[in-house]
Structure formats: C-alpha cells, structure tokens
Chain A
Amino acid sequence: DAGVIQSPRHEVTEMGQEVTLRCKPISGHDYLFWYRQTMMRGLELLIYFNNNVPIDDSGMPEDRFSAKMPNASFSTLKIQPSEPRDSAVYFCASRARGSGELFFGEGSRLTVL
C-alpha cells in the first residue's frame, strides 16, 4: 500500500479564499483523523471519522472549517473563508480497527497571506 496520501503538499493562498485539502487513507483502515500542527499548539485533533461517519468534531476551530468523508477512500477538509491564522501543516492519518497505531500522510502545508 502507498500509505496515506494527501494533496496538495503545499498551498499558498490569499485571505478569504476557499481551501480544500484531500486525503486518501490506507485501504482497509476504518478510522480517519485530521490534525493541525503549529509551533505554538503542536498536533491538534480537528475531527475524526469511523466508517465514514464523523465521530468527534469538537476540535474544529469554527464554522469556517468543514470536513467530509463521502466514501472509505476519500476525505476532504475545507476552509472557507481562509484567514492568516489558519496557516499550519494539516495532517491526515488513518488507523485500522483494533490497532492503536496512526499512519500519517506527509501533510499539507497551508500558507494564507
């Protein structure tokens, strides 16, 4: 398996623009997680899904953030409108049922000017 695949790897956009980050989890993994990493706050959990169903979205900063998982092999994290404080590395990770290990993608580095 190619591992967790994220796109884009880098995104530079202007304040107010819509940003869509994409993730393909490892085939057969039941859980998918979105984390945000910044120097100040470390790795913050934004939302996670089990079998495509959102389980906990309490970490989503505000209504500007939304996430979907329309099927077992694809998830999106959308920010609309984006703000400079959203600049961070966004990681997607997946996990198999019964296993504790998270497998992370390479991350999407977002810069909002």
Chain B
Amino acid sequence: GENVEQHPSTLSVQEGDSAVIKCTYSDSASNYFPWYKQELGKRPQLIIDIRSNVGEKKDQRIAVTLNKTAKHFSLHITETQPEDSAVYFCAASKQAGTALIFGKGTTLSVSS
C-alpha cells in the first residue's frame, strides 16, 4: 500500500520568512496530493491540493510543487505570519475512490 514520509517533523521560522515542508510517496499510481492544516485542538482542513497532471499550483502565499518522477511534493509558505502556526499534513491517494494516506505531520511555529 501507499506510504507517505514527511519532513521535517518540526519547523520554526521568524515572521516574514518562508517555510518549506517536503513529502515523498511510494505508490507510483497515486495522483492526488492534498495538504491539510490542523490548528491546535481543531479538525484538519484542506488548504491546497495538486493533481498529477500539473507540476505547481499557487494560492496567495501558499504553493505546492510536484515531481512525479522522483515521487515527491512540497508545500511552500511565503511571508509567514503567526496565524500560520499549526500542524501541516501532506497526503496521497489514487483518484478513483481510495482513501487518503497521510504523512505524520509537521508542526510549524511562526514567531513574531
């Protein structure tokens, strides 16, 4: 089955800096790669996703890149703000009705 590795497990940055979180996956048939943000004590929520037919997607300060050959994808957050502090999870799945398999999460701390 699919296995998703995520690094780093913790990341501390200063406000205004960029943050990058990286994930690798094992199943070459996976073609959907979302990122979820979980604030303390809250539920995970989708912030951005990418499908295998594109290499990059942006939404304001966040972007995701995908390298299918190397089987890795990354989340980039620019101009970080304290409210970006949360746990971020990457995930992977095959499109046709299978479950998301999550990485173990990255705790991002943004200090002002």
Contacts and interface: CB of A to CB of B under 8 A. Distances in A.
A106 B104 contact: no
A43 B105 contact: yes
Contacts of A45: 99-102
A57 to B, nearest CB: 11
Nearest to B1: A58
Contacts of B101: 45
Interface stretch (B13-21, B42-50, B66-74): B42-50
Nearest to B9: A42
B24 interface: no
B92 to A, nearest CB: 11
A25 interface: no
A107 B43 contact: yes
Given A100-B49, A104-B45, A48 B99 contact: yes
Residue of B42, B44, B45 most packed against chain A (CB within 10 A): B44
A15 B47 CA distance: 38
Interface of A: 31, 33, 35, 41-45, 48, 50, 55-56, 58, 91, 97, 100-102, 104-107
Interface of B: 1, 32, 34, 36, 42-46, 49, 51, 89, 93, 95, 97-105
12 contacts: A42-B103, A43-B89, A43-B105, A45-B99, A45-B102, A56-B98, A56-B99, A91-B43, A100-B95, A102-B34, A104-B45, A106-B43
